[in-house]
Structures are given as C-alpha cells and as structure tokens.
A and B are shown apart, each in its own frame.
Chain A
Amino acid sequence: MRISVFKVALALGLSLVAGPNFLGAEGHAQTVDDAIKGSWTRSAPDWQARLVQDETQKVCSQYRNAPPKQVADAIIARERATIQYPPDGKLMGDWKKGARLAQSGYGGRFTDYPPRQENGGNCYACHQLDKKELSFGTLGPSLQEYGKNRRYAEAEIKAVYDRIYNPQAEIPCGNMPRMGANKFLTIEQIKDLVAYVMSPESPVNN
C-alpha cells in the first residue's frame, strides 16, 4: 500500500515536470490549437491559414527536427515529389539576378503587402557567399566557392536546384525554408540563384 501510494505520487510528480505530457499528448495538442486560434483573432482567413501546419511541419515540430528514420524517410519521399523543373530542363539562369535575390530579404511579411518588389531569397541572412560581402549569417554553412569546389559538375547543379526548391527532400526537418515547394520563389528565380552559386563567372566562385 505504502509503495503504491509512493508510486502514484512519483508518477504524478514525474508527469508534472515532464512538460507537455502531463495533459496527455492529445489534450496538449488541443491546448496548442486553441491557443493559436485565440491569439491571432484579428487577421484575415488567408493569413490565419499560415498558422496551420502541413504534415512535414507537424512532424518536424513534434520531433524537434530530429525525426526517427521511418518518419525521416516519409518526409524525403513526400518532399521529393514536390520538386518541379523548368520545361526546357535548363537549371541555370542569370547569376547577376541571382546576386540581387541572394541579398534581398523582402517578401511575405505583413508589411510587404501589397508587394512593392519580388520576393528575395535572403541567402545572406544565413550563408556566406561572395567573399566581398562581409554581412553574412552563420545559421547555414558557408557557400563560398561552392561551384568551384565541385568543379561545376552537372549533377551538382541539379543538387543545388533541388536544395533551393525543397531542401527537405535531402535533409528532413532541416532549418532551410522550402523556397520552391512553398511558392516563395518562382522556378525562374531559383534558376538565377543556382547560377549565382554554380556559375564559373559568379563572384561566389571568384
């Protein structure tokens, strides 16, 4: 009897410090949904839709970006299927346009509407690219001389296109946004960014 009371107390205590679990997973999920519905009450329906997670966002949140293998494989398969290619098969655009897109963080914020310019890729927020640009972030790896280091190989060009279009097709639950799959950048813009990273003339490789 004593032991069972102790066990119950222990279980209770543990469940209280265990965070989300103390309500049970379902109860907690409901709490989160309710809190979100009740915290963005003044936005238009199309904006509120941004708060609804797709399956990949849901599982990446659940596993805190460290999904078990089975879940990771499912993400890769699902995200790979989203990648669309240009009809003519040319994956490299204009690196000069790509340079401007890499600098621009414009787009998608509620202060960016109605749009005054095209969405940017905001690459420099997280990556080092052109060595002359000293204002670069470090959330992502340095991409300086990325193309040069890979001898501008055809397969690498496709890999960069895929990586920008949907990085989760390669790295499930990675931090980088799915710029193409989420329709934040167009196919043309992605081609320009591929050229910025992979063209021998681009300052990224010089």
Chain B
Amino acid sequence: MRPLLCTIAVAIVFALASPAVLRAQDDATERELEKYRQMLKGDPWSNPGLLDVDRGEGLWKERRGPKNVSLEQCDLGKGPGKVEGAFAELPRYFKDADRVMDVEARLVWCIEKLQGFDRAAIIKRPYSKANQAGTELEALATFVAHKSNGLKFAPRLEHTKERKALALGETLFFRRQGPMDFSCSTCHADSGKRIRLQSLPFLGKPEEARKVIGEWPAYRVSQGTVMTFQHRIADCYWQMRLPLIDYGSDVTVALTMFLVNQAKGGEITAPQIKR
C-alpha cells in the first residue's frame, strides 16, 4: 500500500510542477487511484481513512467533557447508541432539536447536550489542514459513516421539515450569487466536464450522484487527511467567492439532503480514497 500511495503522491506533485505532462500525469494519477480503490476492496485494512474511523470509535466510547460521559447514548436517529445504519438515513428530522440534521450537525448536538462541551468551542476548528490528523469531529463523522458501509442511501422524507430541507437544497443548488455569479449547478449540471483537469460529477443526474456522494467522508491523498461533506460543501462556497459558511448550517444540511436524495440507492463506501 505504501509504495502505491507514494506513486499517487508523486504523480500529483509531478502534475502540479510540469504543465506539459500534466494531462498524461493526471490520467496516470486517476489510474493509480482506481487501482488503489480496487485493492482496498480486497484488503480494506490498507485504507488510511480507517485510522480516523478507529480514532472516531475511541472518541465515541470515551467519557469526556464537563459531564464526563461517552457519546454512546447519542441518538443518531435510530435510537440512543445505535450507530449501525444511521448514516444511511441522514440527514433527518430530530424532535429534540426540532430541526433537520446531517451527521455532523447531530454530532455537535450530542457533544454539546450529552457531554456538556461549549458549542462555539466544538465548531471553532472543524476541519483539519493538509497533513494534520483529522479533527475530532472529522474522526467521529468518519466513524459513523463507516458504520453504514455497504448500505444504500435511504433518505426519509416523512416529516414536513425533511421535505422542506429537500426543497430548500434543490433551490440552493441552482442559486446564483457572488462576484462570479456561480451556483452549484455552474459546475455540476452536465456530464463529462472538467475544471482544468479535474473531472466534475453531474450531480443533477442520479446515476452520477450515486457514484460519488457515498464516498464522503473521504481520505484525500493530496491532503493526507479525511475531508467531511460539510467541508466539501464549504470548499465549494469558498471557490464561489462566498464567505465561510457556518458548520452544520441549514444551508449545508439542506444541500446534503438534496444530494443524498439525488444519490438515493447509491452505496455508501466511506471513507473512500480521493485525489
């Protein structure tokens, strides 16, 4: 696994350094990544993202915070402490919070309400930087997602607020704003398009959404760390020249609801390996 990871890393560095060979290198990077993904199927333990799954599980079970309790009583939607399969049905409406939450918003809720941590402190630095260990939230989210590995997205749309979140997410996907006039659909509303050499999934098309949405949280080889879906969306808004969006906000949750619905029936493979 190590040599292959190195090959991918070298291919990426090479691609950044030398425009003339970029395209060939980029194809090579994609091929190596695909080889790596295939290998993970035979040997799942060679996935570096599993380090965060392990760490997340440790954090889930550890007594922490002012109240000195673990997260094992956290209700992710399928009852207190039930982690298996919970991610496949998120985002969903939670009565105690009276709002729709994705995995990350729910984790923040549990850390605050069960363990007694200060909410502002929890969400102060939710994302790791390149080559840093994942943050606690990243590790926990990766752990919870991994516990739905092999299942298919099965979003519920029973509660009015769940349906409202879906409608909101769909509108937001097409909403143009900012100095570049961008919306999500600027880049993700057609098949086979690229920014520079980076391929873009057509997220309006269920077949393409099903392939990619279940990959998150993902281990990014170029960053050497896991990236969650909140972070993925925040990065898109950053590129759209908009301000930093709040962690676990209604907008990110609604977009997640829309995308998970687009990906309905797609398999969860988190943490998948990404560029």
Interface residues in chain A, defined as those with a beta carbon under 8 Å from any beta carbon in chain B: 16, 19-20, 22-23, 28, 31-32, 35-36, 38-44, 47-48, 50-53, 56-57, 60-61, 64-65, 108-111, 124-126, 132-139, 175, 177-178, 182-184
Contacts and interface: CB of A to CB of B under 8 A. Distances in A.
Interface in B149-200: 163-164, 166-168, 170-172, 174-183, 185-187, 190, 192-198, 200
A206 B52 CA distance: 51
Given A32-B172, A61-B175, A137-B196, A20 B167 contact: yes
Considering the complex of A and B, which 8 residue pairs feature the smallest CB-CB distances, nearest first? A39-B249, A43-B243, A39-B251, A108-B241, A47-B243, A134-B23, A177-B180, A35-B250
Contacts of B175: 32, 53, 61
B135 interface: no
Nearest to B258: A19
Interface of B: 19-23, 26, 163-164, 166-168, 170-172, 174-183, 185-187, 190, 192-198, 200, 238-239, 241-246, 249-252, 254
A110 B244 contact: yes
Contact of A108 (B179, B200, B249): B179
B19 A61 contact: no
A61 B242 contact: no
A50 B196 contact: no
A139 B20 contact: no
B163 A16 contact: yes
A91 B250 CA distance: 46
A139 B21 CA distance: 21
Interface centre among B166, B186, B242 (most CB of A within 10 A): B242
